[in-house]
Structure 1
Amino acid sequence: MKKFLGYFLTPVATGVFLLILVIFQPIQWVCFRFFGYSAHKKSVDILNLFLLRSVYLLGNTVTFINNQNLPVGRPIIFLANHQGLLDIPPMIWYLRKYHAKFISKIELTKNIPSISYNLRHGGGANIDRKDQRQSITEIMKLGVRMKENKWSAVIFPEGTRSTDGTIKTFQVGGIATILKKCPEALLVPVAIKDSWKMIRYGQYPLNTFTPMKWEVLTPIEPAGRPIEEVVLEAENQIRTALAS
């Protein structure tokens, strides 16, 4: 039944999603061009609030739990499992006070309303996966910006999204690179549960009436510990949270 309803509700939700992107393209441009970083960031925050709310048109729900007393004004690396494109808007909106930036494929910086503009001007790292040197350089620049501005970053250490919710082994490369330039960063795992179910049938139909959950887990101090050890600890925290 949920899949059947998706045939009727998907065009509505997708249409609203795309309309939001188109509307916020000029809003972002004005904010960035005339009012600078702070105004642009607020416009991006609100954009992502609208994007995450658009999934409610499918009867889906988003629950974001953050019971951690995370420091404001200290760089944070949020490590999350990756299940789909919907993973991102709740992270941007609910973690907005931490100025979380993303590491994205450079292909996404073109031809996508609002999203491409933000990737080019929002302060994240846009990497070419075919060019290892360029990727490392961009991530190092992100680490420097995090240190200088007390920003945070969101990393999906699996490297690619899971199509069935199964977690892949976390990779340490990007995290280690950021820590070289921003060693004071705190590592914070985030468990994303069941967002993959919304796209279990692909982009059409989208699944309906699916509860999805994001949960911020116990922070990890990386100082003085092997990077492999702290990343494994984060991975295990997420695995445990998803199994409960």
Structure 2
Amino acid sequence: MDKILGWLLLPFFAISFLGSLVVFEVIQRIAYFGFGYKAHKNTVDILQLCIMNSLRLGGTRFKTLRSAQKVPTDRPIIIISNHQSMFDIPSIIWLFRKNHAKFVAKKELGKGIPSISFNLKHGGSVLIDRKDREQATQAIENLGKYIEEHNRAACIFPEGTRSRDGMLKPFKTTGIKTLLQHSPSALVIPVAISGSWELLKYKLKPIPFGVKYKTQILPPIEPANYSADEIVQKAEEQIRMALGQENTEI
């Protein structure tokens, strides 16, 4: 039934989603080249809301649970999140819009995708070549320095690739350690995303109706109290527990 309803609502999603990407490709360029970073950032935030509303037209329901501890805006933030679909990025940008979230993304996303590629190239995120370890490390170092200087947020998906069935993959530590080294005053915020993988279970043919997309912003980890390895372990443990996968073998 979710597939039948998905097909019925697919035209509404497609028109809204693709239309938003095309329209905001133009708006971003005007904002960035004509008015600078702040105007561009505001347009990017609005784009994320439009993308999420496109999913709502297809029956997706969003739920956000937040830790009792507020996310500060007066220090850099390192967001450590699991990764289930391409729609994780709009959700994180929107939820952390006050922190100006930037991403570590594969270089392939930096070209050919309306709105998305332009934002990744010009909005402060970094594109890495996963086959070029030296380039990737340097890009992540630059991102760490950037958020340290501007009190902004860097989001990293330490699984390395998205989970196609929702099961958390073991975390890779190098990227997180590099960010921590070059943003020593950053606070680490683990984020657990569930349900996102279901949006792509039919490979957009169609998006199933009624997906429950939940984001949990978990209690922060103060890096000063732990080693880099302990921080990664604690973040992974928190996310596994939030996903109900704490007994999954690492």
Structure-1-length-normalised TM-score: 0.97
- What letter is aligned with 1:145? Y
Structure 2 Cα separation of the partners of residues 116 and 70 of structure 1: 28
Give the structure 2 partner of residue 7 of structure 1: 7
Q: C-alpha deviations, 1:39-86, integer Å up to 9, x for none? A: 100000000010011101111111122233121121011111111011
Shift of 1:211: 1.4
Give the structure 2 partner of residue 117 of structure 1: 118
Q: Secondary structure at the match of 2:204?
A: coil
Q: C-alpha deviations, 1:140-194, integer Å up to 9, x for none? A: 1111111111111111111111111100111111111111111111111011011
CA contact (8 A) 1:64 1:90 kept: no
- What letter is aligned with 2:27? I
CA contact (8 A) 1:103 1:155 kept: yes
Give the structure 2 partner of residue 88 of structure 1: 89
Structure 2 Cα separation of the partners of residues 33 and 113 of structure 1: 17
Q: Secondary structure at the match of 1:188?
A: strand
Q: Secondary structure at the match of 1:85?
A: coil
Shift of 1:235: 0.8
CA contact (8 A) 1:125 1:139 kept: yes
Structure 1 Cα separation of the partners of residues 45 and 101 of structure 2: 11
Structure 2 Cα separation of the partners of residues 104 and 69 of structure 1: 26
Aligned residue pairs: how many? Answer: 244
Give the structure 2 partner of residue 30 of structure 1: 30
Q: For structure 1, which segment, 86-95 or 64-73, has the greater mean C-alpha deviation from structure 2 after superposition?
A: 64-73
Q: Secondary structure at the match of 1:43?
A: helix
Give the structure 2 partner of residue 108 of structure 1: 109
CA contact (8 A) 1:146 1:182 kept: yes
Structure 2 Cα separation of the partners of residues 107 and 162 of structure 1: 18
Structure 2 Cα separation of the partners of residues 94 and 66 of structure 1: 10
Shift of 1:225: 2.2
Give the structure 1 partner of residue 153 of structure 2: 152
CA contact (8 A) 2:73 2:152 kept: no
Give the structure 2 partner of residue 210 of structure 1: 211
- What letter is aligned with 1:26? V
Q: How many percent of aligned residue pairs carry the same amino acid?
A: 47
Q: Secondary structure at the match of 2:167?
A: coil
Structure 2 Cα separation of the partners of residues 11 and 172 of structure 1: 41
Give the structure 2 partner of residue 179 of structure 1: 180
Structure 1 Cα separation of the partners of residues 70 and 6 of structure 2: 38
* Unmatched 5+ stretches in structure 2: 246-250
Q: Secondary structure at the match of 1:190?
A: strand
Structure 2 Cα separation of the partners of residues 222 and 17 of structure 1: 38
- What letter is aligned with 2:243? L
Give the structure 1 partner of residue 248 of structure 2: none
Structure 2 residue 40 is the aligned partner of structure 1 residue 40 = yes
Shift of 1:212: 1.0
Structure-2-length-normalised TM-score: 0.94
Shift of 1:7: 2.0
Q: Secondary structure at the match of 2:163?
A: coil
Structure 1 Cα separation of the partners of residues 66 and 50 of structure 2: 20
Q: For structure 1, which segment, 216-225 or 39-48, has the greater mean C-alpha deviation from structure 2 after superposition?
A: 216-225
CA contact (8 A) 1:79 1:157 kept: yes
Give the structure 2 partner of residue 58 of structure 1: 58
- What letter is aligned with 1:90? S
Shift of 1:25: 0.8
Shift of 1:224: 4.9
Q: Secondary structure at the match of 2:38?
A: helix
Give the structure 2 partner of residue 227 of structure 1: 228
